[in-house]
Homo-oligomer: A and B are copies of this chain.
Amino acid sequence: MDEGADALLVVSNRGPVGFEWDAATGGLQAKRAAGGLVNTLGPGAHRYGARWLAASTSAADMRPEAAQLLANERIGFWPVSVEPEMYRSYYDIVSNQTLWFCLHGLWDSPRRPRFDRHWWRAWESYKRVNELFAGEVDRAAPLGATVLVQDYQLALTPAMVAKQRPDLRLCSFVHTPWCSPDELSALPDEVAATVLEGLAGGGPVGFHSERWAGAFRACVEAALARPADTFVATAAVDTEDLATVAASDACESELRKLRSAVGDRQLIVRVDRLELSKNVLRGFWAYEELLEVRPDLRGRVVFAALVYPSRVGLAEYQAYGQEVLSLASRINARWGTSDWTPILVQPEDNYPRSVAALRSYDVLLVNPLRDGLNLVAKEGPSVNERDGVLVLSTQAGASVELGDAAISVNPFDVSATANALAEALNLPSYQRRLTAGRLRAAAAKRTPYDWFDDLVAAARRDRRPSSP
């Protein structure tokens, strides 16, 4: 790790590595943290030898063994200790049930959000946890260091850091979409203003797409009546890491299992967190409409849905997961035969299996309602071995780079999605080869290091008057 003005700090809710007690040995077991954000940050943090501040609610994270386990990654883990009850309020209630839903346009507005007195107590926790992070940045950052604050959980931290430490070179990055001023106005004025000021008041604010950056500027303009300094840095696939997993025995073994289940049928794949914004239900409805209107495809195609659980502590996710599973069951019961299961749902987190499915698809369906980027849309073309076709939502940030070589769909339009699947399944092989090549090239244009460098450059061009 560098010290002084060359030092680099990454600040995020979740850390690069999780720890579990190994019951057998009684020792700590390092575990790679799941999730796009950590994958996106990892390579750059490693190269820069970053110090990584992240929340810790478990005793394991706080032990010296934890830091030791990370030393060979050249990453210094700096845990920010948060009481479990406070963490739950900050993370589940404000970050995920409120800000995530608002930014992705997910609210069932007659019922949610509900800013009642329980919520306002959670808001106090959110502010407090952001203060804890800002305080730890103050302790951890040498004079003139570069600080990269990550995502909507820490929306208040950037301005707090800027105020406490005008010497730091600071930026923040929001991995989600940003919503319109109208949508943001569902938040109480005080909350919206605090979130916007928290981000806009702490150096440049980055997004995966100009679309979200523009929405953020419009919100700051509407609520705070001033411009905001934003930048766009599109995240990229860690192709080396992906190739390593793809070449692994575990992946090969999953690939054989998948191919034996699919046989010589065509294969549609989706790989997603089981998340309301991912639009899994409409993907299944579209597939069913395809089977209804195209009898020739019955028995000739399989839809493998690799949907790994997420935020299972929230009732909304439990309910959605149940709906996804029962819709798949109903479709299988209606259309399936003794030797054909139309939908294979795999609701477990199994990364080698996900990569096997990406190697093997004829059609990759990525149809989120709204998505900051969607890394799967880039990972698929990077490892796919069958000149597979991408059906991509116009509402994913990735559609800016990939839209020209993908079949674009309005994610709400089930019939259009069914038509897109039909078109993708029928595409002549020379066209498949052509578009797969273009998708691969588009996905390979940038690396995770490019993205990380963009953040560092944004932090170091910080135009705050008080910066050095």
Interface residues of A (CB under 8 A from B): 105-111, 113-117, 119-120, 179-180, 182-183, 185-189, 276-277, 279, 281-282, 285-286, 289, 292-293, 320, 323, 369, 410, 412-416, 418
- Given contacts A116-B415, A120-B415, A415-B117, A105 and B110 within 8 Å (CB-CB): no
Chain B contacts for A120, CB-based, 8 A: 415
Chain B contacts for A369, CB-based, 8 A: 109-110
Chain B contacts for A277, CB-based, 8 A: 110
A226 to B284, CA, bound (A): 37
Chain B contacts for A285, CB-based, 8 A: 114, 116
Chain B contacts for A292, CB-based, 8 A: 117
A106 near B110 with CB under 8 A, answer yes
How far apart are A395's CB and chain B's nearest CB, in angstroms?
8
Chain B contacts for A281, CB-based, 8 A: 110-111
B188 near A413 with CB under 8 A, answer yes
B182 near A110 with CB under 8 A, answer no
B282 near A114 with CB under 8 A, answer yes
A211 (CB) vs chain B CBs: closest residue = B182
- Given contacts A110-B369, A111-B281, A281-B111, A116 and B183 within 8 Å (CB-CB): no
A457 to B179, CA, bound (A): 38
B109 near A293 with CB under 8 A, answer no
A410 near B188 with CB under 8 A, answer yes
Known: A106-B110, A110-B277, A186-B412. 18 other contacts (CB 8 A): A106-B109, A109-B369, A109-B412, A110-B320, A113-B412, A114-B285, A116-B285, A116-B286, A116-B289, A116-B418, A117-B415, A119-B415, A120-B415, A180-B180, A187-B412, A188-B410, A188-B413, A189-B410
A281 to B189, CA, bound (A): 21
A293 near B182 with CB under 8 A, answer no
Chain B contacts for A279, CB-based, 8 A: 110
B413 near A115 with CB under 8 A, answer yes
- Chain B CB count within 10 A is highest, among A279, A282, A289, for A282
How far apart are A448's CB and chain B's nearest CB, in angstroms?
30
A179 (CB) vs chain B CBs: closest residue = B182
A280 (CB) vs chain B CBs: closest residue = B110
How far apart are A45's CB and chain B's nearest CB, in angstroms?
33
A185 to B399, CA, bound (A): 16
A111 (CB) vs chain B CBs: closest residue = B281
Chain B contacts for A413, CB-based, 8 A: 115, 188
Chain B contacts for A188, CB-based, 8 A: 410, 412-413, 416
A286 to B180, CA, bound (A): 27
- Given contacts A108-B108, A182-B180, A182-B183, A412 and B115 within 8 Å (CB-CB): yes
A369 (CB) vs chain B CBs: closest residue = B109
Chain B contacts for A117, CB-based, 8 A: 289, 292-293, 414-415, 418
B276 near A416 with CB under 8 A, answer no
A115 near B182 with CB under 8 A, answer no
A282 (CB) vs chain B CBs: closest residue = B114
Chain B contacts for A179, CB-based, 8 A: 182
- Chain B CB count within 10 A is highest, among A107, A113, A413, for A413
How far apart are A292's CB and chain B's nearest CB, in angstroms?
8
A188 to B110, CA, bound (A): 24
Chain B contacts for A182, CB-based, 8 A: 105, 179-180, 182-183
A410 to B276, CA, bound (A): 25
9 residue pairs from A and B, CB less than 8 Å apart: A107-B109, A110-B277, A113-B412, A114-B414, A115-B413, A115-B414, A117-B292, A117-B414, A189-B410
A320 to B320, CA, bound (A): 19
A419 to B99, CA, bound (A): 24
Chain B contacts for A114, CB-based, 8 A: 282, 285, 412, 414
5 smallest beta-carbon distances between A and B, as pairs: A108-B108, A116-B414, A110-B276, A115-B413, A180-B182
Chain B contacts for A119, CB-based, 8 A: 414-415
A293 (CB) vs chain B CBs: closest residue = B117
A110 to B416, CA, bound (A): 17
A120 to B293, CA, bound (A): 14
Chain B contacts for A113, CB-based, 8 A: 412
Chain B contacts for A186, CB-based, 8 A: 410, 412
How far apart are A403's CB and chain B's nearest CB, in angstroms?
14
